[in-house]
Structure 1
Amino acid sequence: MTPMTFAERPEPAIDAAERPMLEGWLDYHRETLVVKCAGLTDAQLREASVPPSAFTLIGLVRHLAEVERFWFRETLAGEKLPDLYSTEEDPDADFTVSETTTWAETEAVWRAEVAAARESAAAFGLDDFSKGVGSAGKPFNLRWIYTHMIEEYARHNGHADLVRERVDGATGV
């Protein structure tokens, strides 16, 4: 097994105030996902975890680009945006990749959504409520969204660990 190497990944502060702490942990988990994809070819990033499942590392990054868009731009800021990949006919299309799906394109879209998420969040305080509402008809405060996103990335980074180990035997970070 090959251990993964640490790419440039921000370590969360151990003594920060609440907002920088939440943002630090979210950025840490965002970049952890990139580390788990580092050094693989496009073909490896498109390799299914355990056939017949179509779950891939590149599909996971596409999914998290949609998650960033949904929580920070659509829910928090109230923007009306189309999904990046999913459709009514195929709500899981973010996970669907083809032979032409590339890491360069996928990472660029994901990084653009992360940048847009940061911009949206900057306009809100932790106690400010989202302009959009959840399925129960209630808004979320930014603190809840940050906490949820940390959980979302942490859970999916665990999935990425298993897929990466399956693809090339690399473990770690």
Structure 2
Amino acid sequence: MSDLVVQKIVRPERVVSGPWLEVIASNLDYHRATFLWKCEGLSDAQLRLRAVGSSALTLLGLMRHLQGVERAWFQRTLAGTTPDFFPYRTYATADGGEWYDESDATPARDVYADYLKACEESRQVFARVTVDLARIVPNREFGDTDVRFVLEHVIEEYARHVGHADLLREAIDGTTGE
């Protein structure tokens, strides 16, 4: 068995015009695949490398975080359900939040499987939670927002973290790409 965690990733074509929800859904899948593309062909050890300056951030840490993004925003905020978060080790940050502890020993294959499961859960609730885009949802971080804002924010999360993944991947093995 290969020690590579994320095998070959093929990014889907994006819908660039047409119904807004189709554009948003396809762009979410494109960004999900782009993040995984940055992790493609790496081992558990490489996904755990702290590769940029003094930052503790790793590709595996980003993967843990993005499963949380998927579940928090789609399930908790938009669907109003209680997500089943994987019990990753976390720590309290200086501002009172929490972040994933990079010393968590969960195997990278398990983190990857959990991330894929979280993305599929989001796809499953997408149609149900986007019936009324103007629906106002309580939002702990931003105050009450509508569904469109939440969807845009999830894309914003991916855009930010794919940028981080670019830097981490290049520092790990020199691989670059959009």
On whether the aligned pair clears a TM of 0.5, the verdict is yes
8 Å CA contact 2:137, 2:147 repeated in 1 = no
Paired with 2:100 and 2:13, the residues of 1 have a C-alpha distance of 29
Q: Which letter maps to 2:168?
A: V
Partner residue of 1:133? Answer: 139
Percent of matched pairs sharing the same residue: 39
Aligned length: 166
The 3 A distance-change label for structure 1 pair 142 and 105 is: same
Partner residue of 2:5? Answer: none
- Unaligned stretches of 5+ in structure 1? 1-5
Paired with 1:105 and 1:130, the residues of 2 have a C-alpha distance of 35
Output the TM-score relative to the length of structure 2.
0.82
Partner residue of 2:152? Answer: 147
Partner residue of 1:159? Answer: 164
Paired with 2:79 and 2:168, the residues of 1 have a C-alpha distance of 33
- 2:26 pairs, out of 24, 30, 52, with 24
Output the TM-score relative to the length of structure 1.
0.84
Q: Which letter maps to 2:108?
A: W
The 3 A distance-change label for structure 1 pair 93 and 82 is: farther
Residue 57 of structure 2 aligns to a residue whose secondary structure is: coil
Paired with 1:35 and 1:135, the residues of 2 have a C-alpha distance of 29
8 Å CA contact 1:75, 1:132 repeated in 2 = yes
8 Å CA contact 1:59, 1:97 repeated in 2 = no
Tell me the C-alpha RMSD between the 2 structures: 2.3
- 1:96 pairs, out of 91, 99, 102, with 102
Aligned-pair distance for 1:155?
1.1
Q: Which letter maps to 1:31?
A: A
Q: Deviations along 1:103-139, whole A, 9 cap, x unmatched?
A: 311111111111111222221225152554334542x
The 3 A distance-change label for structure 1 pair 80 and 7 is: closer
Partner residue of 1:37? Answer: 39
With CA pairs under 8 Å and 6+ residues apart, which has the higher RCO, 1 or 2? Answer: 1
8 Å CA contact 1:66, 1:83 repeated in 2 = yes
Partner residue of 1:46? Answer: 48
Residue 147 of structure 1 aligns to a residue whose secondary structure is: helix
- Unaligned stretches of 5+ in structure 2? 1-7
- 1:12 matched to 2:18? The reply is no
- 2:121 pairs, out of 116, 121, 128, with 116
The 3 A distance-change label for structure 1 pair 143 and 95 is: farther
Paired with 1:26 and 1:133, the residues of 2 have a C-alpha distance of 20
Paired with 1:153 and 1:43, the residues of 2 have a C-alpha distance of 23
Residue 67 of structure 2 aligns to a residue whose secondary structure is: helix
